[in-house]
Structures are given as structure tokens and as C-alpha cells.
Amino acid sequence: MNMTLPRPITSFVGALLIPAAYVSRRMNGMDSRKAGYSLLNAADSVMVASVAVRPFLVSLVVPGVSWELIRGYALARPRGPE
């Protein structure tokens, strides 16, 4: 497997953002109903899925695409007054 330097860095940063968002949410640092949380989750899933596309790693692409669809819905849904 011949990987250039940006791919492992992207994968590593994306993998770090996943627990960062979760820990921040669990420690009341982020509100999961706010756009910032959804954007952070979108960034991490894009990074991880982009690395998994070539070579095609279905075990990473499917969850990455699924999370993107869920986050897209979360960002696009109408919000009431907060």
C-alpha cells in the first residue's frame, strides 16, 4: 500500500475528531443540537471516508457516508426558537 503523507494525516485527524466531539458532548462542552457539533462530526466523517474510498474499504465508507447523511439532515432540518 503506497500512501502519501496527506492521507495518513487526514485519517489521523479525522479519527481524533470523532472522540473529541463525543467527549466534548459528554462533558457538556458542546450542545448536540447546535450546528457546531454537527459540523465537527461532518468534518471527521468526511476525513475518514475520504481516506477509505481508495482503496475501497467498505467498513469505513459505509459508516462515513451514513454519518454524512445523518449530519446533513441534522444541519438542514428546521429549528425552532432556542
Inside any domain, residue 81: no
pTM: 0.57
Inside any domain, residue 20: yes
* Per-position b or e across 24-54, b if 16+ CB within 10 A of its CB: beeeeebeeeeeebbebbbbbbbbbbbbbee
Signed CA dihedral, 4, 56, 74, 37: sign only: negative
Inside any domain, residue 82: no
pLDDT digits (tens, 9 = 90+) for 34-72: 777 778 777 877 777 777 777 777 877 787 778 778 777
Inside any domain, residue 17: yes
Inside any domain, residue 53: yes
Asked whether 45 and 67 are in contact (CB, 8 A), the reply is yes
Inside any domain, residue 48: yes
Inside any domain, residue 38: yes
* Domain assignment of residue 58, given as a range: 7-76
Number of domains making up the chain: 1
Section 9-17 average pLDDT: 78
Confidence band of 82 (pLDDT split at 50, 70, 90): low
Inside any domain, residue 1: no
pLDDT (0 to 100) of residue 2: 55
